Amino acid sequence: MKSQALASLHEVANDDEEFVKGVMKAGALIHLLVSFLDSLEMEEVQQEAARMLSVIALFDSFRGMVIA
C-alpha cells in the first residue's frame, strides 16, 4: 500500500511543480520520505521514497531541504 501511494505521488509530482509546492507546504513530507528510506519493511517502499525525493530535489526551492 505504501509503495503504491508513493508511486502515485511520484507520478503526479514528476509533472507538476505546483503540486510539489503544495505538498511541501502541507507538512513534513521530506522527513516522512527519509524515514521510508530507513524502513526495513520492503525494498519497494525504499525505492519509491528515493524516487520521490529525487523529484523534489529537482526543484531549486526544495533542493536544500532534501540535502539537509
Instruction: Cite the DSSP H helix spans in 27-68.
Output: 29-37, 43-58, 60-67
Q: pLDDT digit of tens for each residue in the chain (68 aa)? A: 677 877 887 787 777 778 777 777 655 778 888 888 887 778 888 988 898 888 888 878 777 777 76
Given this model, what pLDDT does residue 27 score?
A: 57
Q: Are 3 and 44 in contact (CB under 8 A)?
A: yes
Indicate whether this model's pTM tops 0.85: no
Which of 49, 55, 16, 56 is closest to 34 using CA atoms? 49
